[in-house]
Amino acid sequence: MALLSRKLLIPLLGLVLAVYFYSGGDEFKPELLKGKRTIVTGASTGIGEQMAYHLAQMGSHVLITARTEEKLKKVVAKCLELGAPSAHYIAGSMDDMVFAESVVKKAENLFGGLDMLILNHIGDSYYNFFNGDIKSVRKLMEINFLSYVTMTVAALPMLKDTNGSIVVVSSIAGKIGVPFVVPYSATKFALDGFFSSLRQEFILKDVNVSITLCIISFINTEKALKAVGDVLSYPAAPKEECALEIIKGGVLRQWEMYYKYEHTRIPLLFRDWAPQLLSSFMRSGLNVENLKGSNHSLY
Ligand SMILES: NC(=O)c1ccc[n+]([C@@H]2O[C@H](COP(=O)([O-])OP(=O)(O)OC[C@H]3O[C@@H](n4cnc5c(N)ncnc54)[C@H](OP(=O)(O)O)[C@@H]3O)[C@@H](O)[C@H]2O)c1
Ligand SMILES: *[C@@H]1O[C@H](CO)[C@@H](O)[C@H](O)[C@H]1NC(C)=O
Ligand SMILES: *[C@@H]1O[C@H](CO)[C@@H](O)[C@H](O)[C@H]1NC(C)=O
Ligand SMILES: *[C@@H]1O[C@H](CO)[C@@H](O)[C@H](O)[C@H]1NC(C)=O
């Protein structure tokens, strides 16, 4: 009897949890994005590029940014082909806070308002043991964190007017410490602290601007595949689907979104009550011998 009930109980509990986590309440419809004015950063390639295409297809106005002008031009052209009512780019580097602010100003000039700010770019970082280079930690903090803060501050007046949304693309490495991404992980944890705290204040102040923190696992972007493809022992998930799920999470005003579910939500269930088990499990899945390059380790 006890065995039977346990046999029943566990799948039942699983089902309840699955239904609870999957049903976000509201349902997503592409029409929700029609005519919306959006900014996507880091949109010259990878997940950001795919988000721009989804938004274009759903009829949003898009302003994209990254450093490489030739790539941005191509993405804009494709957005227009896909049906974006308007698509523009501005090229520059997010280690410059004046540039970060000017992206928001450009959206104001082009659109006269803003509905969704999607913060997605990341600066280049190595995938290896921490090398002790503090200058590069500071620089990555500026690109991956401070520019997000700068753009949020600059965009807030417009987002308040529209009851808009801020979407912050983070990583499982922004929730759980994983090896070989020490500076990157630090910048992603910083985003969680800043935006989760800010969300609380918005609620206290009746500021109806949603903040969605996106917890993403390994995705098949060119750069990620090259850097970590041989070290991680689980397959990369498709960037197109990842991009769509991020947009859904933002439009539905979810506090956090998880993709892929099994590689983010499940480890996070273990994080707080079995951290050592989780961390040894994560290390055991790494092929450390396949680390590329010879970045001078601190140790
Ligand atoms: N791929 C994954 O496995 C994975 C896993 C977890 C989380 N994520 C997160 O998902 C987001 C997108 O990742 P991704 O894999 O799509 O990245 P990606 O393919 O490397 O693209 C990064 C984007 O940022 C731009 N960028 C790089 N340096 C910049 C700078 N200094 N100033 C302004 N823009 C800059 C790049 O364009 P330019 O070079 O032209 O500037 C590019 O458009 C990131 O927030 C990342 O942390 C990705
Ligand atoms: C924004 O939300 C507030 C409530 O928080 C509501 O009173 C207002 O009408 C909304 N404005 C727009 C433009 O949707
Ligand atoms: C906040 O804005 C959203 C989007 O306009 C709206 O659906 C929601 O009802 C608003 N929330 C409150 C508390 O008014
Ligand atoms: C090593 O790290 C530095 C940043 O500190 C980076 O510029 C360089 O490209 C990295 N080298 C390799 C081989 O990954």
Q: Where are the domains of the chain?
A: 31-290
Question: CATH top-level class for 31-290?
Answer: alpha beta
Does residue 293 line the site of ligand 4, with CB under 6 A?
Answer: yes
Q: What is the pLDDT of residue 222?
A: 97
Question: pLDDT band for position 115 (50/70/90)?
Answer: very high
Clarify whether 184 is annotated catalytic: yes
Q: What is the mean pLDDT of the chain?
A: 94
Nearest residue CA, atom 8 of ligand 4? 126
- Out of 184, 259, 261, 299, the active site residue is 184
pLDDT tens per residue across span 26-80? 799 999 999 999 999 999 999 999 999 999 999 999 999 999 999 999 999 999 9
Distance CA 217, CA 156 (A): 29
First to last CA, the chain: 56
Does residue 160 line the site of ligand 2, with CB under 6 A?
Answer: no
Does residue 143 line the site of ligand 1, with CB under 6 A?
Answer: yes
In the block, which residue shows the tokens 């993405």? 75
Distance CA 286, CA 228 (A): 10
Least confident of 18-32, 72-86, 98-112: 18-32
Distance CA 91, CA 261 (A): 33
The sign of the dihedral angle between the CA atoms of 191, 217, 79, 68 is positive
pLDDT at 1 over 50: no
pLDDT tens per residue across span 120-134? 999 999 999 999 999
pLDDT at 100 over 60: yes
Ligand number with the minimum distance to the CA of 136: 4
Q: What is the pLDDT of residue 292?
A: 87
Q: What is the pLDDT of residue 26?
A: 79
Q: What is the pLDDT of residue 259?
A: 98
Highest-confidence segment of 4-8, 19-23, 189-193: 189-193
Does residue 280 line the site of ligand 3, with CB under 6 A?
Answer: no
* Cα 286 to middle of ligand 4, angstroms: 21
Query: How is 186-205 classified by DSSP, letter by letter?
Result: HHHHHHHHHHHHHHHHHHHT
The sign of the dihedral angle between the CA atoms of 244, 245, 251, 252 is positive
pLDDT at 240 over 80: yes
Does residue 125 line the site of ligand 1, with CB under 6 A?
Answer: no
Interval 1-19 mean pLDDT: 63
Nearest residue CA, atom 6 of ligand 3? 163
pLDDT tens per residue across span 207-226? 999 999 999 999 999 999 99
